Structure 1
Amino acid sequence: MYTYLIVDDEMIERKGIRMLLSRMNIRENILEASNGEEALEVFEKEKIDVLLTDINMPFMDGIELLSRIHEAYPGTETVIFSGYDEFSYAKKAISYGVFAYILKPVNPEEFEKVVGEINEKLAKSEREEKRKDESMEFLREHLLYLMVNGQSRSAMQEKTQMLLDMSFVRDFCRMVLLECANNYFEQVNSEQIEKMQSDLQMPFHYLNLNPQQSILFFSEEPDGGWEAFGRKLYRYIREMWDQECFLAVSGEITPDCELYDAFAQTEQLMERRFYHTGNHVFLPFQEEQSEVLVQIDAEILIRQIQQDIRMKDLESLREHFDQFCEKYEHQTIFSQIYIKFMFSNLLKEIYDNLERKDERELDREIDALYHSSNMAGVIQAVRMGIERLETVFRADGGVAKRREVEQIKQYIRENYSDSGMGVDQLAREVGMTPNYLSSIFKKNTGENLSRYLKSFRMERAREMLENTNEKIGIICEKCGFVNVSYFCQSFREFFGISPQKYRDQGE
């Protein structure tokens, strides 16, 4: 809907122009002024798309008005009405970018033709501006995706040069990693994101990483702090999107901070959801709180240690045993017998996995553990067992972990077209928890498992676009996507260009 301003010192003339607009079903957003000075006052208050003005008026004529509008409001389309068929008027009008010069009395057919052409020109300009904005938004998403995945700010600035203003990245103060199950982010659209910003009254940049993960980039601090805002965001997603989700809030992002470092921090925070089973929001300062009192369910942690032993993952075993010790070391609410019982079970688990088992030696060590006069002795007894395991693990060379990782890679190569494939399904294939699989995959490959899966699918899509004539919808399906729109969005974020344009460039 465009706004029209009719300027003429004769009321009957203004009514006549209004009537002609009405014949074109244009009845709203029509303003009036009786001379050039009044018209300028209207321009200061309203956004005017089309100016319809007479030439001869008191105080300020139409030619001077055009001069002022041309300088101050260059995007305005203008039409001149005049009873003078003089070249000097027409020449001045043309110099000020007038769209049409119509002689009085106004011919209705000529008027409708001119206004129709103006409306078509305005609509075309809007479409071009929208495409330009969309292209810039696609470029921003692509650059953010690259920076989150290892590219530096300086490299991106050099890549874009003058094409894109990178100041929006310098303004970021935090990022929030969101994680939902069931590939929910395939369904999220721009309307949902805009509504979330409006409802939460917090502007952010949205970046989708994969069907399970997205990032929100914030440029301002919320009232009440990030912990309260994180809970508010969690409730919003649960109530408005009907989804259970987890959130990890990064530490402060300074202008010198690389986005991939902030993202790595949120990934590490997100791994804590395995231990904090009732928590959905994770923040950096919770790490400090956990050093005072670790709230980890002992049975879950024991199962994790058992899995570390089975996978021969010495690094994780040490980490989880330290957390286990931290849970009990300074707690007076547990009896000595209970603590010694828990640690002796771990010691037995370790001995069960030694190549040379000596039941009598195990009995002696458990007996020494029970006779320990302090917690340090109890912990030391188990640490000695871990040291024996270390010899076995190092001799094995981590074969078990590499075998599981290669098994996952092979499964992805053979089944990447399965739209239901995600970290949860891959974890079931090798009998691990999703978090543990993600952890050992990253330790062995240096790459996040979800990112590896997306990269593999994107590369297969690129190869199909280059080497086949398959329709984009078919390629989308063959690469494990059920939503063509989401597939195109993911391709743009990954390669910085749409699938169709990528194919066209190669032809």
Structure 2
Amino acid sequence: MYRLLIVDDEEMITDGIYETLAERNMELDLCKAYSGREALSWLHRTRVDIVLSDIRMPGIDGIQLLSIIKQNWPYCRVIFLTGFSDFDSVYQAIQTPGVQYLLKSEGYPKVIQAVGEAVTELNDSLRRNELVRQAQEKLNTLEVLARGEYFRHLLHGVKPALDLEVDFRKLSVTLAADKPVYLALGDPSYASSDVLTYANRQESALAVTLLAESFLSDHARILGIIDRFGEPVWFIQPSAERADGNEVESARILPYLEGQFELIQKACLENLGISAAISLSDRPCEWKKLSSFYDKIRRQRQVRAGDGALMVQLVNLDVTCCTKEGSPRDKSDALSVHLDAGRRDEFLQLFLELTESEKVNGAYLMELYYTISLVLLSYINRWEMEDQLADVSALMRRDEFASWEEAFAFLRTTAENLFELRSSGERNRAAEAVRKVQIYIEEHLNEDLSLVRLADYSHFNPSYLSRLFKQESGVNLSEYIEVARIERSKELLRNDDLKVLEIGVRVGYEASQSFTRFFKKATGVTPQEYRATSRM
């Protein structure tokens, strides 16, 4: 239902229009104000979709009101009524999109017609065709996918980087890394069975997400993603104009968001067939507390009154709706990410937060134990590490431990063993890769041993191979090749009757002069001198 505000300093006119529109049953939420200042109170308190106002009023007149309306409610339609032939005011009014102008002498039929046209314009503005096209285009961009993955990690427990601004800049995120952010969660309900498939649900959730971005982007910085539950989540900050420290403007952001989300819900219902409940944080949160705020909003959403359909719920983050933290499952993604990435310190820090906080019942601890166990077991199975660990089967047998402390200590030990196995495995694989390169060099001293050739053999890129070889062997690759050639040359000079030219060819030097220079530079003597000395 759209909300219409009637504003005129003549009470008879205000009441007359109010009664006329009420009798027409146009499904409008009618409000009235007898001055510009009273109208301002309405505009700061709630969303208004249509304003029917006199232009000439004492104090705050219609033109001043128009400026405030466009600043706070950009989708609001304005109909001006005047009994004056005030060309300047009329000209200024008709130059503004979404504004109509009527003479009071034209009577109620014209007013009713103008209101009907405004309702039609509002309905048209909610059409989703262009928004869905934009959603499909955005869906196919890697940038959007990367942003979604990044913010999902933040929501589900991965701590933000110390320098968020760098990450935001790389991901083209328009939110300010140094300012707090409002969180809004969508809870879509699908009337049609057509959206029960995963692909259709994702497409519908994305349409809702981008619809909200379009409605809010005029007066707020906003980024929407789909969380791992397939539900829309929005990160919102007042626009630069509103974020300048002005306390009055900051106080108005919540009524603005509530009002716009009401319009978004209407658009979703009429055009997508989706009833979307919205849960909105009552204040912004710091980025480092994002995961905690997200958990609180999700939990409080479960205790709302009624089915919550078309509800815009302002979540009081000071209220504790349950006695324990959110489900351990909410943090399991972060644990998996840290384990897969080999981030030992981050994994153990989150493990500590989960297992050492105060919990009130065994059911939660049981869920926590098996959640962490499944994360560890999944990793063990994927990397076929069962034979390298003791008591893997105990991960699924909590009853073998005398206490929760002992059970979680076992999980921690298992996790630390996995990180050590991963680290030692990486070291072993590095050593094995370098050893293979060394063997290849020793067996192919007469061939091309350039870095590029060795990189092709080892399936590493050249710069990585060079760095890895130095890291594992302690010498540069070129130095190792030179030493190998010298040692083979010495061996052949001592124990074989091959000519110096032939020996040079066997270690990669086609020209005898090149071999002689190389050998003398490394040993201080020529090949002939070395042979003569070694056989004395």
Find the structure with the greater CA-based Rg: 2
User: What range is the shorter-chain TM-score in?
Assistant: 0.3 to 0.5
**TM, length-normalised to structure 1:** 0.36
